[in-house]
Amino acid sequence: MAKQQSTYKHIALITGAGTGIGRDLTVLLAEKGMRVYATMRKPERMAEVQTLVEAAGVAEHVSIQALDVTNPEDILKIRETILRDEAEHLKNDAELILINNAGFGIAGAVEDLQIDDFRRIMETNYFGAVALTKAFLADLRFAGRGRIIQVSSGFGRVGAPLMGAYNASKFALEGFSEALRYEMLPFGVFVSLIEPGPVKTEFNENMAESPGHADSPYAKLYERADLVVEKSQIVASEARDVSKAVVKAIEARYPALRYEVGIAGFAAKVTNQFAPQGVIEGIYRFI
């Protein structure tokens, strides 16, 4: 008797699927016939995403679940749910895809931010991704296949004033992911980083900021930064551009370690690799 073929070739778990990139990615992957577990921290987002996938005609492919990546019990629950409900598909060679997309930004000079700001952003952007990844590593290794895709940032390659807390979280994610890629390659599991520049989502509007800019010794820097953020929208990517990069990492036979998205994402790569440090420092000293 011929081996039964899996209905799904890919089973994708997306964190931070309530808004922006994660929401768009949920629809795109479902449209491609993948089984999608769209997870989000805020329960009020779940009905919105349900309406979206129904309108797109892909609701049958999507399971919407609550998940706070900083909560170990939530992580354990989603793992148990996927392994139980998708057991037959996984047994029939479906590939499990982890997409660590949950994250947020904090803007502020290091002196102005509180130490708790650094801890809070690291808990979600870095430790949350590490915890979810670790929860599935043995399963992926045992299966001998799978993808781990980290939605990082161009700020994971280059530092920028007022972005120290966010830089730290994404630099950490980049180092962790590169090391993990080399550990998992012998087991047929690939780790990739997606590195967008600015994206036209709710990210900037939802970014936390240190209070008291007007009284800060860095007040002029904040004013310049506001202008840069405004102008950056000219070259900002769409959420769909990032989603397409994720699809490349899923569908490639041998996916790359890094995928830059947009002009600013590519510029971060070039700056990281080729720009002399003296030139970069000169720009920041005199702007």
Is residue 166 flagged as an active site residue? yes
Q: Tokens in use for 262?
A: 């947009």
Separation CA 11–CA 149 (nearest Å): 13
User: How far apart are alpha carbons 192 and 240 in whole angstroms?
Assistant: 18
Q: Quick one: the chain helix, strand, coil %, rounded to 5?
A: 55, 15, 30
Residue 159 carries which side chain, given as an amino acid letter?
Answer: G
Return the DSSP state at 124. Answer: I
**Which DSSP helix (H) or strand (E) runs through 260?**
strand 258-261
CA 42 – CA 22 distance, rounded (Å): 13
Under a CB-based contact definition with an 8 Å cutoff, are residues 243 and 24 in contact?
yes
- Cα-Cα end-to-end distance for the chain: 71
Sheet with 95-100, strands from edge to edge, namely: 62-66, 35-40, 10-14, 95-100, 146-151, 189-196, 258-261
- Distance separating alpha carbons of residues 169 and 102, to the nearest angstrom: 12
As given in the structure block, the two tokens for residue 156 are: 């994971």
List residues bridging with 107 in a β-sheet: 209
What number of CA atoms fall less than 13 Å from residue 153's CA on the CB side?
26
According to DSSP, residue 127 is labeled I
* Catalytic residue chosen out of the listed positions 8, 37, 166, 259: 166
Residues with a catalytic annotation lie at: 166
